[in-house]
Structure 1
Amino acid sequence: MRSTLISLALVGLLATGFAGSALAGEAYAPIKLEAAKSIQPSPELIADATALLANVKKGDGDAIGLGLASKVTTIDGSIDMAFPRNKVVIGPYKTTEDMLVALSGTIGGDVPTAPDGSDDPKLHIAAEREFIVQSLTDSQPWGADPMVKGAVCTYAYRSFDAKALQKLADKLGIQSSGFVYVTAPYELKKTPADSAAAAGTLAPDLLYALDYKTDAPRNWIAVHLPEGGTAFARMSVAKFDKPYATGLCFNKNKAGKWVVVAQVATSL
């Protein structure tokens, strides 16, 4: 599911890089994005997660159940990043199938309905199995999530000040979903053309505001400059990301086996 979702604090750090660009529009300080806390999963965790993946692919309900905690914490975020993530504990259930159906309601998207428009438990189970497979095979570094203390997750959550982000979104007149970050420096252009002069460089680990009010050709997007004004990024090159979280978190049960204790998604 991460592929459908998707991954910008000081103006002073960027002032030199943005010198000489247009000064129309609001100036602002990008929001600091905390570093992801990566964790190297142990061989035991890898083995138990690999077994769960194999059982999910086979559709072996009883074996899948052995890889899930009796109670699973579900964490639901929003594409509007200023909204707080919601945390709910579900379970226990009489059957693994019941747990999978319940978990399917927290995958961040709609589950297909039957041809007659009714809910079909088999479709819910299939959707949840797909979510588990994608979470275990999407190649993101394993890490930690502050909302699932002590667990090792198939992603590493990147924290930020949501209240400050909402305040900035209100100031710039954009939605709180309209912020991005880069993992490596990216040079913006004064106009939407590869041959255009540089307008500055986006620095990693800061949340920058996109400018949806300024028209840009296909494959280009406007970005609010921190000191004011607008520059342009080529979408296929910029590799913009957002601090969304989607995946599974594992912890050891009383028997010492690594099991899924949390499911995390970002709702569309």
Structure 2
Amino acid sequence: MSMRRAVFRLLSLPVVAAMCLGPVGAIAGAPAEDGLRPYRPLTAEVGAALTPPADLLDAAKQLRAAAIAKDTRAVFAMMGDKVTIISSGLTPAARRDAERKGPWPHAEAALAEIGGYFMEGDLPVGGTVDPAARITQVLEMIADATEQPEWGRDPLVKGGFCTYRGVRWDAGAGATIDSGSRGIYVPAPTPVRDSAAAKAAVIGTLKPGHIYLQDELDGLPDGWRGVRLPSGRVGAVRDAQVRDPAVWGLCFLSNAKGGWSIAAFSSALL
């Protein structure tokens, strides 16, 4: 199991989101489930999918090989003097924020600092994390993110080619958000069914440009998850049709030498 999948399984929680200008995707008059309130999906800007140039694919392969070999100098050589660190919580209650970091004097300093953005859990006795552990963490993330990337844009990295499709939203847009819930979005209109079956009745549609609420649904088999419609009703969608707005990965920009440099890292932690 990859590091990213392991982190998602460990931290998986029920999910929530909140608002745009009106209810989207629900059948009119559909009753809310007991204890669930209707809501307005959170408006979101989703980065476009991309087909990267061949030389970028080669650079990503070289970077992955360096990360797997724990060649910190080679990884550092592929980083820009400064990089953007994008971080958020796992729920839509915390928007994704970006800050610039660097330059660093050497590879160990850079990777130890960046690795801290991918460390989950309490601090050990003494209140510090071994720099070597942080370096290992970010190297594993790089190897995982470049294994089978879903190339796309991130609205927080202008012009970047990213190993994921990034999402930007305003968590404080007047919405009431459950701070313990997770969100999902869809890259294309997606039917929500009343049970986990391809021919089950469609009870609503999720539309691109919004973050919806993930929710509990009893008896879901692998490959399906529960989602709450704006009406409050809960249904099932296929995992392959939805995306998580809390993303791990990295972005590249072309450099002055005609090659590619790591321009940003994206993380999401509790």
- TM-score, normalisation: structure 2: 0.75
Q: CA separation of 1:66/1:167 partners in 2, compared to 1, >3 Å: closer, same or farther? A: same
Mind listing any 5+ residue stretches in structure 2 that lack a counterpart?
A: none
CA distance in 2, matches of 1:111, 1:65: 28
Matches within 5 A, 1:201-220: 201-205=204-208, 206-210=210-214, 217-219=218-220
Q: How far is the alpha carbon of 1:157 from its aligned partner? A: 1.2
Q: Does 1:126 align with 2:136?
A: yes
Q: Does 1:231 align with 2:240?
A: no
Amino acid at match of 1:252: S
| Mean Cα deviation higher: 18-27 or 124-133 | 18-27
CA distance in 2, matches of 1:241, 1:249: 18
Q: How far is the alpha carbon of 1:117 from its aligned partner? A: 8.7
CA distance in 1, matches of 2:130, 2:81: 23
**Structure with a larger share of its residues in strand:** 2
CA distance in 1, matches of 2:172, 2:128: 40
Greater C-alpha Rg? 1
Contact 2:193-2:235 within 8 A present in 1 as well: yes
Contact 1:199-1:231 within 8 A present in 2 as well: no
- For residues 199-246 of structure 1, give each alpha carbon's deviation from its aligned partner in whole angstroms, at most 9, with x where no partner exists: 71232424333456xxx53538765443x4533437x76865432222
Q: How far is the alpha carbon of 1:257 from its aligned partner? A: 2.0
Q: How far is the alpha carbon of 1:69 from its aligned partner? A: 1.4
Q: How far is the alpha carbon of 1:45 from its aligned partner? A: 1.1
Q: How far is the alpha carbon of 1:132 from its aligned partner? A: 0.6
Matches within 5 A, 1:6-85: 14=25, 18=27, 21-23=30-32, 26-85=37-96
Q: Does 1:187 align with 2:196?
A: no
Q: How far is the alpha carbon of 1:135 from its aligned partner? A: 1.1
2:168 aligns to what SS in structure 1?
A: coil
CA distance in 1, matches of 2:259, 2:226: 49
Contact 2:191-2:202 within 8 A present in 1 as well: no
Mind listing any 5+ residue stretches in structure 1 that lack a counterpart?
A: none
Identity of aligned residues (%): 28
Q: Does 1:153 align with 2:169?
A: no
- TM-score, normalisation: structure 1: 0.75
Number of aligned pairs? 251
Amino acid at match of 1:73: T
- For residues 86-138 of structure 1, give each alpha carbon's deviation from its aligned partner in whole angstroms, at most 9, with x where no partner exists: 32222222211211111101126359969x99633222211111011011114
CA distance in 2, matches of 1:229, 1:60: 50
| TM-align CA RMSD | 3.6
Contact 1:36-1:157 within 8 A present in 2 as well: yes
